[in-house]
Amino acid sequence: MKLYIVSNRLPVKISGQKGEFTLSRSEGGLTTGLDSLQTPYEKHWIGWPGMCIQENEDKNKVTAKLESMNLHPVFLSESQIENYYEGYSNSTIWPLCHYFFVYTLYKSCFWQSYQEVNLLFCKKISELIQPGDKVWIQDYQLMLLPGMLRKRYSNLSIGYFHHIPFPSYELFRILPERAEILKGLLGADFIAFHTHDYMRHFISTVERVLHINFKLNEVQLGDRVIRVEALPMGINYNLYHDAPSKPEVRQAIDRTRKLFGNHKVILSVDRLDYSKGILHRLRGFASFLEHYPQYHERVTLAMVIVPSRDHVGSYTELKTKIDEEIGSINGHYSTIDWTPVCYFYHGFSFEELSAMYYMADIALVTPLRDGMNLVAKEYVASKCGNPGVLILSEMAGAAVEMTDALLINPNDTEQIVQAISKALEMPISEQQERLQRMQAIISAQTVNKWATDFMRGWDESFYKNEKLRKKRVSSKAIETIKLKYDKARQRLILLDYDGTLSAIRLHPEDAKPTPELIAVLQKLSEDPANQVVVNSGRDHIILEKWLGNLPISLAAEHGAFYKENGVWHNNMNKIVWSSGLLSILKFFVDKTPNSHLEVKETALAWHYRECDAWLGSLRAQQLTNELVSICIQQKLQILQGDKVVEIKSPDYNKGSEVARQLGKKHYDFILAMGDDTTDDDMFKALPKNSVTIKIGYVSEAANYNMSTQSEVLPFLETLVNKKERHLTDNSVKDRLKGVLGFVRDLLKNN
């Protein structure tokens, strides 16, 4: 069995030309974490090799070298890199996810290329995978890939991790291709983000764009459950924590000390990007120098900026503004012995960067928006016995874990100024205490743990889906049920109405029985061996209006009313609802647009199916909290169903109707079907050998599952349809005569 890790880039650097290529391993955090991942699977990696190679001979040479390392290249053309990577990935998705809507570009060629490249990755994976393999897809460049793979391989185990922020619904909805991207992501079994905020935004967006409802952090699509989780990515803690003790890093520390002398060093390390807040940081430092002149010639800002996409217009403009801002600060404040901003526009080696981390008195990490930001964690890990203060943007994913940093709003220049001042004046003992608490967290939440936690959650999701598939009402299961049905002499058939016999409607009054439903119930009831019961939470007046002409039994309002032999019976007296209870419910109707209250004789139901998904769920929880005390006092039960909160007497439920039916006679075949949590009461009250089928979300109480309501009527029709009868002697003779005549005519013509 193999684990295929799929990312835009392979974890290697490729260089060379004209048939001579060399490979070197990348030092990225993702590469480090996945290399050390302990798994029974053989690890492989799929991605672009980093060069646009034209000649087939060169492609074959590179492929041979890479595959010897379990790396499998997807070759892309220059136009694909321009439109898929620089275009849709980094000029459309990246700015949108980082809340820079003004930089978002929309071009049809971008989207077309994004689809094309995702399909290339899909085809490459299809060439390699075997049954039992797993595919772990990384990041925003490949958001369509899970869905593409799912269409080809219904049982493939697919995981996806999103390494950048996922924006709020209000922003993501702007994207023209929003639905296609969300459907693509939902092809995975397990989807994870760095923080709970991103996870919440994703769930909210799916619910509002695709009108698919989550239950907590899970959603069921067909015969699959997709689980969404928050898993903060860490670093290789020991690599950075132990670095200052290495000779080559000690030498780099000595060089750094000589460079900065006795000045306090504020370190800033970023890739060139507008999301990093570099200009805000510089302006904050300039304001600090203006308001705290006592620190002149005592503090230096060491700014490391790694070049990135500086040929793109918005990045070129950013680079120019950074250069101008640094020039302005240095021009205004520099002396012969002091340069306020020491600017490095290039990447540093691991040894040099570790030395800078170790030496720096302050790390100024203030992105305007960042998925995680590992620089903050690397800085804290590198402070092996050396004090220091981390100033961290609350907009970075790392801020969720690193609460002992000085957290600031990076858009507020004054907060940057005050944080620098506080950091410079912080006692050494407090610095050490804060660092130790943060080190305790990040030393436990390492990149290895992140990868292991992802695999564990992914495996749990996959096993849950395997279990769900076993409960699926397959054609083989239908044959088994049909065989039991045909052999039985006394059958009890219990059927829920809404969501089972009829599809759920936005307006409950629209769920009238179709002619097909009436025909099926009529066929079931015509068999004298069948006792057919529609066991519903519906009002008994509605059930009588819709189904009263059929020769079947009806149980309404969760068993409070039942109809047998054409006569309705009342199990309990009409409840007089208190004014306090009604006022609470009416208050929630008033403040929740598109909700409504249904008043029955034995129950009250607050429906919110037509409401905004987020608001409806919020109000349902608030309403439940409000009702708890008053319902306890009045000995009433609160039920949370599918988009409904119901208040009723605890004396009767769908299970009590089952008990009443079972007390009448012995049945050798029992079938129960339902879609709601209230139907679990029915399933639990039945003998274990009963055929219990949950529609929609899988239930532990039911032994079978149907993914959609549309499967119910065909299933019931299969039960009532008679098997093809054996041919009578006369019909056999007639068919033989026809065959002999056909043969005679054939011989005559020849």
- DSSP annotation string for 290-311: HH-GGGTTTEEEEEEEE--STT
User: Which region holds residue 2: left if phi is over 0, alpha if psi is between -120 and 50, else beta?
Assistant: beta
Model confidence over 690-712: pLDDT tens digits? 999 999 888 888 999 998 899 99
The pLDDT, as a whole number, for residue 729 is 43
Model confidence over 501-510: pLDDT tens digits? 998 887 878 8
Q: Are 189 and 157 in contact (CB under 8 A)?
A: yes
**What's the average model confidence in pLDDT over 549-577?**
86
**What's the average model confidence in pLDDT over 559-579?**
84
What number does CATH give the domain 472-572+652-722? Answer: 3.40.50.1000
Percent of the chain clearing pLDDT 70 (strictly above): 95
Q: Give me the active site residues, please.
A: 496
Q: Which region among 444-458, 584-598, 717-731 has the lowest average model confidence (pLDDT)?
A: 717-731
Provide the sign of the torsion angle of the four alpha carbons 427, 430, 436, 439, taken in this order. Answer: negative
Q: Are 543 and 534 in contact (CB under 8 A)?
A: yes
Q: Are 556 and 543 in contact (CB under 8 A)?
A: yes
574-650 carries CATH number 3.30.70.1020: yes
The pLDDT, as a whole number, for residue 33 is 62
- Please name the residue that has the structure tokens 């519903």: 536
Instruction: For residue 610, name the pLDDT band (cuts at 50, 70, 90).
Output: confident
In sequence order, what are the residues at sequence separation of 6 or more whose Cβ sits closer than 8 angstroms to the Cβ of residue 218? 225, 226, 227, 228
What are the tokens at 228?
Answer: 């969404």
Instruction: For residue 612, name the pLDDT band (cuts at 50, 70, 90).
Output: confident
Q: In the CATH hierarchy, which top-level class contains the domain 2-75+121-230?
A: alpha beta
Is 0.75 topped by the overall pTM? yes
- Rounded to the nearest 10 degrees, what angle do helices 145-152 and 178-185 cross at? 60
**What's the average model confidence in pLDDT over 330-349?**
94
Neighbouring-strand partners of residue 671: 493, 691
Average pLDDT, the chain: 90
What number does CATH give the domain 237-445? Answer: 3.40.50.2000
* Beta pairing class for 644-648 and 530-535: unpaired
Q: Give the Cα separation of 1 and 12 in Å (integer).
A: 23
Residue 735 clears pLDDT 90, i.e. is over it: no
Domain ranges across the chain: 2-75+121-230, 237-445, 472-572+652-722, 574-650
**CA–CA distances in Å: residue 311 to residues 93, 109, 324:** 19, 20, 18
Topology alike, domains 472-572+652-722 and 574-650: no
Model confidence over 228-275: pLDDT tens digits? 999 999 999 999 999 999 999 999 999 999 999 899 999 999 999 999
